[in-house]
Structure 1
Amino acid sequence: MLRFPGYVSEEFFVNTGIPQGSPLSPILFVFFSAPMLEKFERLHPDLNIFAFSYVDDSYILVTSRTFGENREILEKYHEQVMEWATPNGIRFDPGKYKVMHFTRTEKCDLYPRIPGLTVKHVINNSVDPEAPKYLRILGVMVDPALKWDAHIANLESKVKKKLGFLKRISSSVMGPNLIDMRRLYITSVRPIITYACACWFVLADGKGQQFRITKKLIARLDRLQRECLVEISGAYSQTPVMVLQKELNIEPIEVALHRIATAHRVRNTNTLEGERMLKVARRPFHRMRSFACFDVHPYWVAYQQAGLVRGEIVQHYGLERSVRLGRNVSGWFNQYLREQGVLRSAYLWAEFAEKHALKAPRTCGYEAVTYMGEWCTNIMSIHLGKTRAQSTILLHMRTGHNGLNANLFSINRADTNMCPCGEGEHTVEHLLFDCVSLARQRRELFPADYGKCDDDLRRLKLRYLLTQCAGPVSAWALKNFELEQFSWTKEHLPVRTRAFPFSSVILPFLRDLSDRQGPQ
């Protein structure tokens, strides 16, 4: 049917084969191209060759004792492909071919003797100084040494481009709220980092380090996630990444990569694809005996661990019968690994907090509020219903990295750490409890003697204010902290502070604390 302004045609049949977007199209193409991939292996079972294809992208992997043997095998394979392609009306353009030799030592300029193919088609050749250093395989940048530097650099570029788009719609004081920004990061930015991580991320465990991702590259990914979290949260740039991850309930990038990669391997265990991969990992050459060195092959180790995890999951959830019947249980795998990710994140946070507590910015004479609690999966609930500016100043108050003099003086951005009132350090604790300049404004929240208690009780009060009563406290802070960052928000987007949560919630809580503490 054709539809134009003022005209609608009769329905008529269009003979175009498979409808555009139909899932049948790639399935039928696989059936069509399968002989191209299978014929050579069937005719030459003595040669070790692995071919795979995705739509119209085909890749051929050959392993042998020398690069010269590899070239001869590729030439034979290409001849067989041409014999199949010509009668089927398929043409290949050698000008688009790429050749890459996997080596960590000397460069190799050998290439199959195919018309139209030259040394310039060899990745990282010694003839052309401008030759590409890596090969793009289904979105993964693979270099001859399998060191993954090129892939990390590529995803850094993609993430920063995406982050630039987010900067256009958001700032620390306006735009989508923090919960929405966090969701945008998890759904549209982090997948760029974790894409295909099952093939390039193998967590180092102290042995078999070859081909594993290095600590240097993990540190780059950690810095990349930190840059993203600073932007989406409005936090100060010196805020530690572990603090941001805890406050936003976002896994450390190493934990996320390990979880996603393990989930893929667990699902892939006991499948034809997984078994073939393990077979190649154990015996890369045809008729080659398995050597002890392959026991520490990173992918062999990773799949062995995935098999153990799969067994734990099946036993933990009682899935033996479902697995035996061939039912889809991947949802259980994902749930278990998410729970393990939370436990791992909590462990890393506890380790970090213990190590850095003494160096943490002080907000109550002890440590920043964020260091007082454990890893919490529902921490984002304190930002429900808050404006972007409220969430930003709340995060600043909880982490201790804020625009107050005490913090700015510690990073050489202020001449003094004292409050303008001259009565104490310019901290969140001081402004909420002691600042004489805010004595009248403070009555909007609680009685004048509210902050007069011992340090332990005072610490609990501050934590409670910045957690359970985050909304009124953040609104009050926007109005009274006199921070230049929020001056525009204060003038153009005023937020009312309401006293009823404090009179009905905080005061009973404080009375209960006082009763438990005994006479002051």
Structure 2
Amino acid sequence: MKFSPQKYSIMHIKCPIDTDSDCKLLPNIKGLKDNTSCLKEKVKVLGLVLDPGLTWEHHITDVEERVEKSLKYLRKILGSVWGREQIYRLEKLQNECLKQVSDALGNTSQRILEKELHINSIRIFLRRTVLAARAEKLKIITKSSNQHHIEDVFIRSSSAASYPTVYSILDLQARNWANQAKNEIIKKKNGSDKRFFAIWLIKEKRSAVVNRLAQKHATRWNSELWDNYRRQRAAQHPKQHRPLALEEAWGPQSLGYYNGLSRGQSTMLLQCRAEFIGLNYFLNGIGGKRQSPQAQAPGTRSVESLEAAMESIPATCPCGHVRQTVFHMFIECPDLRVARRQLEDNVGTLDFKQLLTSHGTVAADWAITHFKLAAQCEFPREGSQFASDDTEPSSCRIN
């Protein structure tokens, strides 16, 4: 047997209140004598990190280092993979996509775009997808030739100290979906359990049943989300003019209003229905500004003078009405009375709701021609069926 100095550490223990320097003496042992590398400022013994003065300083430092190392690993696997921050990022991305597809104004409400385009909120899409996938995975458990049931999912303990996890909540909801599908099939098949189990055992039929149920729930969730948005908006702005889109319930009929429309027509119809449009009432509500007549005069060129000459856009129509809204332009504005008669000749009786639903193509062309929304509609205006009728005074022009 040989002595291996490399495996040994030397540390001299002293009284904690001793202020003398640490002892540096080495034992007279071959391999240790004159081997100062064996002297240690701290030594780990049975999980405790000891120092010469037994102050626990190094032990606490070691605990902190190990905990911080563990936390770094935990941050990688226990980060926010499903919480608020992530879903908000996805909602923002979805909103950008909807605005790009619809060509809506930048501050158009995402809820309105989802309703008009009849597209699920990303929250509802993810919830529906996760629950449908879990429900499809549930199997039929056979106890005997006459005893079958859908497999159980993990149920948390009833102990007050236990809390449901996200996965246990989703699993339980998925099993409820499977039971709902079972009840619907049994009712449809005149109370036959065997027919249900026969259908559920076939993957394609099981998927079809679950997807129909998922779509049914998604429609209800979207409707609730839309109704909540309408109530909150009405509570926050009780005196504000309500656009036509807010008067309608959630449903596929909204998307049908845009069938067959060109890009310019669908954009104008959406802006009219949502009233996120460059008319004075809306621009005034968002704090819009424009150049004053003095700024437009010749010789006014400096940046400072142009900024100083900017003025708030009033909510009034150039005709004198207090609110220049979509309804006012289509139904009331006296400056558009000649154009309005042409519109009436085209669609019959002027009904505002019918204009922006059943007669969307005609209404969009009329608005493109007569709203005069700067350069936004220059190209679509050329193809409008009312382009040759653009003989109205310029008082309704939106600058």
Q: TM-score range by the shorter chain?
A: 0.5 to 0.7
1:407 aligns with 2:305: no
1:259 corresponds to which letter in structure 2?
R
Distance 1:490 1:277, change over 3 A: same
Q: Counterparts of 2:85 and 2:134 in 1: how far apart (Å)?
A: 24
Distance 1:485 1:246, change over 3 A: farther
Q: Counterparts of 2:184 and 2:152 in 1: how far apart (Å)?
A: 27
Q: Counterparts of 1:409 and 1:292 in 2: how far apart (Å)?
A: 55
Per-residue deviation at 1:480?
0.9
Q: Is residue 386–residue 471 contact of structure 1 (8 Å, CA) maintained in 2?
A: yes
Q: Deviations over 1:86-120 (max 9, x none)?
A: xxxxxxxxxxxxxxxxxxx63249xxxxxxxxxxx
1:502 maps to what in 2?
A: none
The TM-score, its normalising length taken from structure 1, stands at 0.48
1:481 aligns with 2:371: yes
Alignment gaps of 5+ in structure 2: 1-66, 142-149, 290-312, 388-399
1:305 aligns with 2:194: no
1:422 maps to what in 2?
A: 320
Partner SS, residue 486 of structure 1: coil
Q: Is residue 135–residue 178 contact of structure 2 (8 Å, CA) maintained in 1?
A: yes
Q: Deviations over 1:182-208 (max 9, x none)?
A: xxxxxxxxxxxxxxxxxxxxxxxxxxx
Which residue, out of 194, 197, 201, partners 1:321?
Answer: 194
Q: Is residue 282–residue 315 contact of structure 2 (8 Å, CA) maintained in 1?
A: yes
Q: Is residue 389–residue 486 contact of structure 1 (8 Å, CA) maintained in 2?
A: no
Alignment gaps of 5+ in structure 1: 1-104, 110-123, 126-132, 135-142, 149-212, 283-288, 452-457, 499-520
Q: Deviations over 1:425-484 (max 9, x none)?
A: 22111111122221111111127xx99xxxxxx9xx322211121111111111111012
2:207 maps to what in 1?
A: 330
1:393 aligns with 2:268: yes
2:93 corresponds to which letter in structure 1?
L
Distance 1:485 1:321, change over 3 A: farther
1:262 maps to what in 2?
A: 131
Q: Counterparts of 1:291 and 1:343 in 2: how far apart (Å)?
A: 34
Aligned positions, number: 279
Q: Deviations over 1:103-161 (max 9, x none)?
A: xx63249xxxxxxxxxxxxxx67xxxxxxx99xxxxxxxx322422xxxxxxxxxxxxx
Per-residue deviation at 1:374?
0.7
Q: Is residue 115–residue 251 contact of structure 2 (8 Å, CA) maintained in 1?
A: yes
Q: Is residue 121–residue 222 contact of structure 2 (8 Å, CA) maintained in 1?
A: yes
Q: Counterparts of 1:361 and 1:433 in 2: how far apart (Å)?
A: 23
Distance 1:485 1:350, change over 3 A: farther
Partner SS, residue 350 of structure 1: helix
Q: Counterparts of 1:349 and 1:385 in 2: how far apart (Å)?
A: 26
1:378 maps to what in 2?
A: 253
Please tell me whether Structure 1 or Structure 2 has the larger radius of gyration of its CA atoms. Answer: 2
1:494 aligns with 2:367: no
Of residues 226-235 and 416-425 in structure 1, the stretch that sits farther from structure 2 once superposed is 416-425
Which residue, out of 328, 331, 334, partners 1:433?
Answer: 331
Partner SS, residue 385 of structure 1: coil
Q: Is residue 265–residue 303 contact of structure 1 (8 Å, CA) maintained in 2?
A: yes
2:358 corresponds to which letter in structure 1?
Q
Which residue, out of 218, 223, 236, partners 1:341?
Answer: 218
Correspondences of 1:85-104 after superposition (within 5 Å):
none
Q: Is residue 361–residue 401 contact of structure 1 (8 Å, CA) maintained in 2?
A: no
Q: Counterparts of 2:236 and 2:358 in 1: how far apart (Å)?
A: 26
1:495 corresponds to which letter in structure 2?
S
Q: Identity of counterpart residues, as a percentage?
A: 24
Q: Counterparts of 2:370 and 2:237 in 1: how far apart (Å)?
A: 25
Partner SS, residue 344 of structure 2: coil
Q: Deviations over 1:396-424 (max 9, x none)?
A: 11111111111111111132122233344
Q: Counterparts of 2:103 and 2:325 in 1: how far apart (Å)?
A: 19
Per-residue deviation at 1:338?
0.4
Bigger relative contact order, structure 1 or 2 (CA pairs below 8 A, ≥6 apart): 2
Q: Counterparts of 2:235 and 2:264 in 1: how far apart (Å)?
A: 29
Q: Counterparts of 1:303 and 1:106 in 2: how far apart (Å)?
A: 34
2:353 maps to what in 1?
A: 463
Q: Is residue 418–residue 426 contact of structure 1 (8 Å, CA) maintained in 2?
A: yes
Partner SS, residue 107 of structure 1: helix
Q: Counterparts of 2:86 and 2:244 in 1: how far apart (Å)?
A: 32
Q: Counterparts of 1:406 and 1:497 in 2: how far apart (Å)?
A: 25
